Amino acid sequence: MTTPNLRNIKNYFRAAGQWISETPERSLDEAYEAALAIKAIENEHFNGNKISPEFGNYTESVMAYFQGELNKYLNQARLKLSAFNMSRSLLGIPSIAASKTPNNGNVPNGYHVDRQDKAAIILEKLNFIDEVLAKYVEPAPLTTTPPPAVAAPLTTISSNGFTTTVPATNLNSPRTQAYGSTRDINPQKRIESISDKTSFLPRSILRTIDRLKRELDPKAEEEVVKNFRSSKIKTVISMKFILLVILIPLLTHQITKTFFVGPIIDHLREGKQVEIFLNKDMEEEAFAEIKRFEEKLDFQVLLGTLPQLSPEQKEERLKEKVDEIAEQFRYESASAIKNVFSDLLAGVAVIILFLNSRREIEILKSFIDDIVYGLSDSAKAFIIILFTDVFVGFHSPHGWEVILEGVSRHLGLPENRQFIFLFIATFPVILDTVFKYWIFRYLNRISPSAVATYRNMNE
């Protein structure tokens, strides 16, 4: 019984050791496959160029898809390349000395060739991965003093039992600059970039000249049509998604409450002594309504609109009203329980919609940005003041109180005044802080004139 168990344990450790020893090559292969996927997209859709809107005539939604694929493969390639470098530094690639050789010390013919071929393949894969990743690395920061050019002498590399001679890396090569190893720049390019930022002519004149150039361009009409089609597609997709966000939770709530949750709750509560009131607030409301009905009967008798009622008749009428109120609150209690489960299912439906509509969410965000930032300064200031006064202004606590009471009644919860007051004292303040941060961080940078108009109107 012991020998098979020991054999199984040895096999397990042997397999685990083999898997660990193959980690460098496996990580390199996965990084190489990710780089191949990026290269395939470049060759098929961008004529071998970088995955960028300037090299492809695609709509914004298509470019968003390509950008998502690019980010996925870039992250995979960089992660696996880091795993390759780390695992190789810890484990290394098996060398000739670590490999099995005959007892007489003679190495079989072709063994050195196999090891060198394997190393050459590794170097070729690394070179290909670096070339692909170098296109998507931001250039290093510019410096005023470029380092001197370095010649490319031959360098001898010895690794894993083989020796090869390759040219040393040129520190002024584009690939080296892309990874930030050196900060050599072209002085002429640096001077041109500075001259682009500052000019002797006012920017308004330059913008007018650019507008005239665009209007005189023979392809201007095609660009206008293309932009219009792209904007139209964006608007249609955004409006459809907004309608889905509104209709899906409402329809899910009503359908589940009517056909699934409602019958189940009614079946469980039917024929049983269940509580008529879910909380004390419902009971007090029913008691107040019965008391009001009794006072109304006495008032009508005093006015002469009703004949004098005997105690038995009055009690009978009160009994009918009590039964009516009990049936009403029994229905409200069952409806509140149904609302809880229906709202949960509606929330699940919305979450599923969001998870399956990432592209539509990006398009909707771009659509909203175009609308918001495309408004005039006075319109932006008006919307900001209206929003802040409604939700975080002086009279906003009354609105939040009505909303919270409606939510509590919808779910059958007691109206906890302490919670409502605590919510009103904290949430509008947090919302106001977030809104002011958005104005300071984003709107002030994109449209400072709108911020100035807002401050003048608010004062």
- CB-side neighbour CA atoms (13 Å) of 19: 6
Cβ(453)–Cβ(381) below 8 Å:
yes
Q: Is residue 334 included in any domain, yes or no? A: yes
Q: What is the pTM of this model?
A: 0.49
Among 299, 329, 357, identify where a domain stops. 357
The dihedral built from the CA positions of residue 327, 331, 334 and 337, taken in this order, carries a sign that is negative
Three-state secondary structure readout of 281-306: HHHHHHHHHHHHHHHHHHHHHHHCCC
Q: Note whether 345 and 382 are same-domain residues.
A: no
Q: Note whether 228 and 130 are same-domain residues.
A: no
Q: Is residue 211 included in any domain, yes or no? A: no
Q: Note whether 68 and 121 are same-domain residues.
A: yes
Q: Note whether 385 and 302 are same-domain residues.
A: no
Q: Is residue 448 included in any domain, yes or no? A: yes
Task: Tell me how many domains the chain contains.
Answer: 3
Q: Which amino acid is at 420?
A: I
Among 296, 330, 357, identify where a domain stops. 357
Q: Is residue 89 included in any domain, yes or no? A: yes
Helix axes 220-255, 358-374, angle to 10 degrees: 120
Domain housing 449:
375-459
Q: Note whether 280 and 350 are same-domain residues.
A: yes
Per-residue pLDDT of the chain (459 residues; tens, 9 = 90+): 445 555 666 676 677 667 777 778 888 888 888 888 898 888 888 888 888 887 777 777 778 888 888 888 888 888 888 878 877 776 655 443 344 444 444 444 444 446 667 778 888 888 889 888 888 876 544 444 444 444 444 444 343 333 444 444 444 444 444 334 433 434 344 434 433 444 555 656 767 777 777 777 777 777 778 888 888 898 999 999 999 999 999 999 999 999 988 888 888 877 666 778 888 888 888 889 999 998 998 888 888 888 888 888 888 888 998 889 988 888 888 889 999 999 999 999 999 999 988 889 999 988 888 888 788 888 888 888 888 888 887 778 888 888 988 888 888 888 888 888 899 889 888 988 988 888 888 778 777 888 888 888 777
Shortest CA distance to 133 belongs to which of 62, 75, 55?
75
Q: Note whether 396 and 344 are same-domain residues.
A: no
Structure tokens, 221: 């009409």
Q: Is residue 197 included in any domain, yes or no? A: no
Q: Note whether 224 and 308 are same-domain residues.
A: yes
Q: Note whether 75 and 125 are same-domain residues.
A: yes
Alpha helices, DSSP H only, in 304-357? 311-355
Q: Note whether 335 and 410 are same-domain residues.
A: no
- CB-side neighbour CA atoms (13 Å) of 326: 10
Shortest CA distance to 338 belongs to which of 404, 284, 259?
259
φ and ψ of 293, to 5 deg:
-65, -40
Q: Is residue 189 included in any domain, yes or no? A: no
Cβ(400)–Cβ(427) below 8 Å:
yes
Q: Note whether 353 and 397 are same-domain residues.
A: no
Q: Is residue 144 included in any domain, yes or no? A: no
Q: Is residue 146 included in any domain, yes or no? A: no
Q: Note whether 118 and 23 are same-domain residues.
A: yes
Among 315, 330, 357, identify where a domain stops. 357
Q: Across the strands, what pairs with 167?
A: 154
Cβ(290)–Cβ(299) below 8 Å:
no
Q: Note whether 434 and 333 are same-domain residues.
A: no
